[in-house]
Amino acid sequence: MAKVAKVGRLKADSLLEVVIAAVLIVVVFSIAMMVYANVLHASRPVKQVRAAAFLRQAARRIEQLQDTAVSDTGFDGPLIRRSVTAAGGPGTAHLQLIALGEHNDTLAVLDKIIVWHGK
């Protein structure tokens, strides 16, 4: 049979060093999770970006057609609340478009003064 050589005592870390290493790992992980949560909270949701783009497109269309009764479709989900009031003089109007979400929360707002030439 082969003899097992006795090497001596193995050097190991103390309990204090292991606890300090575990605490450092937890602290680094916690900081990483806070940064990740902050990035998620700070970025605009896709619904808000799409609603804002749709409102800009609808305002451009209303301005080009010079008709406030134009109805735009094709945006899935929110209700578009439209308000057009006279602004200043003839041929000008204040257009306000509001995109509302599923629970009547405001996704995007667009306020614009429209000047119609030749009207």
Let me know how many helices (H) and strands (E) the chain has, helices first: 2, 3
**Worst-scoring range by mean pLDDT, 42-51, 63-72, 85-94?**
63-72
Does residue 6 belong to any structural domain of this protein? no
pLDDT of residue 65: 78
Does residue 65 belong to any structural domain of this protein? yes
- Percent of the chain scoring above 70 in pLDDT: 81
**Domain of 58?**
46-115
What's the whole-number mean pLDDT along residues 101-107?
83
Token pair of 101, please? Answer: 């979400």
- Classify 118 as helix, strand or coil: coil
Selection from 108, 59, 56 nearest residue 79 by Cα: 108
Higher pLDDT, 5 or 90: 90
What's the whole-number mean pLDDT along residues 28-54?
89
Distances (CA, A) of 36 to 15, 26, 28, 43: 32, 15, 12, 11
Does residue 80 belong to any structural domain of this protein? yes
Number of domains in the chain: 1
Which value, in Å, is the radius of gyration of the alpha carbons in the chain? 31
pLDDT tier at 104, thresholds 50, 70, 90? confident
Does residue 109 belong to any structural domain of this protein? yes
Does residue 9 belong to any structural domain of this protein? no
Higher pLDDT, 22 or 71: 22
